[in-house]
Structure 1
């Protein structure tokens, strides 16, 4: 064999061995580079003003810092600010931070609450594990009141329902809710629970509803809702930390009691799911209130029955 031909043959053999080795290496099954798949959702690691800060100077911007890059949700309202601003704030998503710019500066001696819900995700579409709240005050102290509970439908938790607190409502039947913005608002988490924190010591009207059109306004004709079994006075004697709110809907086919309460002047008010003619309630045996004394029954035709004790 000629030397030149032998060298050419050995070179081809070496190349074939190298290719076979590479193919063998590529065919091996192993863990892809970069470690395990990321399944951890983002979470808030800081804010400006800081959570719990007091005597915050006048400003109109809030910055939230996340543990990783976050994605603006395509639908829904990812951030709630309470008390509700008069004008819609601007939300600017910048990598791992969210800049919230209010149209007006912070009010004096006011506690502000910012709630971020679980619609916020990272680049891999991992959501936040739970709703997260930060609070700061422009005065010397934070409001400390709270209202918390569970919104359920047939004993199953309702995710994403809105728990709303309204001020100054004494007669809910005269309120046009679909044009009334609540002062405080929070969404239920995946467990159906809501937690309204840092509330002032006031009387509120609590209403939870499924916001179908995502406008943060309650439309009783089309949206399911729930009411508590007690008045909501933040500094009052009744416990407000574990309320149970069963979802109902405006039903024109059947009559049901939504809630009952007693007013300061000893008036028992019973709310039905729809307006009732006076004659329907005036029939013997149509309604009964068990009391320690005789009752005089008054039946207006607006869906409210009232007993004076």
Structure 2
């Protein structure tokens, strides 16, 4: 009996110890919140508990600290970048304590009299479980008897596509210097929503420089070439009267042109790869003559010398380089040119067929070229047209008959390349004449009320290279005809070509140059065996 009593007393002590351990563990869990696992996904952002937080929208307020307490456990990320006070203050600290964010101003004398301050937290405050940021988290107070209530609103769109830009910073500066965009944080700022719309509120009256930025490093400054920017050309005047909605066109400046790669491994050919597509700002000269052709982001050069030579490349955007092309190898294998070959032809043709060779062609002996239709043995006539911009393409033209079978034969010696080498084998290709009933015709009428304006137009079908490129100037009305087009959804890109260089030019902040205006207009779908007429009012497209 005594042994049983002793056992039960010992068991009671163990239970007490176990209970104490459980209570200690539970208290530790409460003091150290962790993200729970399992259960439904938390999609709700943290919300301010107004009953336990410093009241918002106070006047005659000189706080030493501001406390915002939330309805759930939170975390604070990149507070030094995300939390911005307008007008700017120095020396404040932002910290996390439990479920609360504390803004400590330190010395109260840093707050100016009769000024409305706006604290914007960006995406610094997030819930602990799923990192959902608190939405539109702002704290507003005034050291004077009233809170400033003026506003600036508008929209930020992509300068090329005209699509709304989400998440762009829109910033106001009371410092009107041109360099302020690069050196200072904004006096006031807002951020665009998914429709590109912005609203900056609680402003005081004054003149402000207005800019927008797709901020790549979250420092509220334009300091990277890859960042997209927009700016209003003149300071805006914010008064007691409402400011009209403002439209900003966001663009990326032309990055400095650089040579990313040089390939001279193939005899007689030099390939330069650039960090972007070279445009009119590239100037080339060399010690020897050559042929050149542009590709997407590279240039090909074909040359005939065995000696070393230099190519000098210069650009208005800081590129200045000398490319040393080495002497040709004495190894016969390395000097050997690949056999001439034709690249695949399209499966059907209506007016012309493009013959694309694998290297530059100097001439074609038409006496050694035979074009036959179906099973006929007689040679049928054709016309050649050389593509002088690519040097490797010929345009074969004829009145191709619908659904007829064609075979082209280029017998040995018919083709002479840039180095005087001829084909030693017969080159043959076959195709089928296209059916005009499967194609459509397009007529576009353009009109404008300004005959001095110049427009550059690109007609293209979605996902494919342009069908046509042309300029419009000197008239008030224009008509363009396009025959035998494949069915599809066509769009017209119209550029207000202010410098008449037949391309779209982006903007430049330092030069106060806005990007050229461009409008992309979809046309009615073109159907097979159909004549489509479209009208484009240029004055309406580019109305101010």
TM range (shorter): 0.5 to 0.7
Change (3 A) 1:101 1:193: farther
Selected match of 2:55 from 43, 50, 54: 50
Deviation at 1:124, TM superposition (A): 2.0
Q: What aligned pairs does 1:1-309 form with structure 2 within 5 A after superposition?
A: 36-46=40-50, 49-56=54-61, 58-73=62-77, 77-87=81-91, 89-105=92-108, 106-128=111-133, 130-153=135-158, 154-169=161-176, 172=178, 175=179, 177-219=181-223, 221-228=225-232, 231-235=235-239, 239-240=243-244, 242-251=245-254, 303=511
Deviation at 1:205, TM superposition (A): 0.5
Deviations 1:38-93, CA, capped at 9 Å, x for gaps: 3211122338542221111x333222222222112258833221111133x31111
Q: Which has the higher strand share?
A: 2
Change (3 A) 1:201 1:195: same
Change (3 A) 1:222 1:146: same
Deviation at 1:304, TM superposition (A): 5.5
Give distance in 2, aligned partners of 1:118 and 1:157.
21
Q: Secondary structure at the match of 2:81?
A: coil
Contact 2:150 2:242 survives alignment (8 Å): no
Give distance in 2, aligned partners of 1:86 and 1:200.
20
Contact 1:111 1:143 survives alignment (8 Å): yes
Change (3 A) 1:103 1:183: farther
Q: Which runs of 5+ in 2 are unaligned?
A: 1-37, 256-278, 282-315, 318-451, 455-509, 514-544
Q: Secondary structure at the match of 1:44?
A: coil
Give distance in 2, aligned partners of 1:81 and 1:74.
15
Q: Secondary structure at the match of 1:177?
A: helix
Give distance in 2, aligned partners of 1:190 and 1:90.
31
Say which one has the larger Rg. Answer: 2
Deviations 1:181-231, CA, capped at 9 Å, x for gaps: 321233334554332211110110011112212222222644211124774
Q: Secondary structure at the match of 2:49?
A: strand
Contact 2:74 2:125 survives alignment (8 Å): yes
Relative to the length of structure 2, the TM-score reads: 0.37
Contact 1:73 1:120 survives alignment (8 Å): yes
Deviation at 1:180, TM superposition (A): 2.4
Change (3 A) 1:304 1:115: closer
Deviations 1:131-182, CA, capped at 9 Å, x for gaps: 232211111011111122333333444343222111131x52xx25322232
Give distance in 2, aligned partners of 1:182 and 1:100.
19
Give distance in 1, aligned partners of 2:220 and 2:227.
11
Deviation at 1:286, TM superposition (A): 10
Give distance in 1, aligned partners of 2:127 and 2:248.
32
Change (3 A) 1:98 1:85: same
Greater RCO, CA 8 A, separation 6+: 1
Change (3 A) 1:156 1:79: farther
Q: Which runs of 5+ in 1 are unaligned?
A: 1-33, 256-273, 276-284, 288-301
Give distance in 2, aligned partners of 1:230 and 1:132.
30
Pick which of 97-106 and 205-214 moved more: 97-106
Give distance in 1, aligned partners of 2:39 and 2:250.
44
Q: Secondary structure at the match of 2:67?
A: strand
Residue equivalent to 1:11: none
Give distance in 2, aligned partners of 1:176 and 1:140.
31
User: How many matched pairs?
Assistant: 226
Deviations 1:230-270, CA, capped at 9 Å, x for gaps: 74211165634x43322112126589xxxxxxxxxxxxxxx
Residue equivalent to 1:20: none
Change (3 A) 1:160 1:94: farther
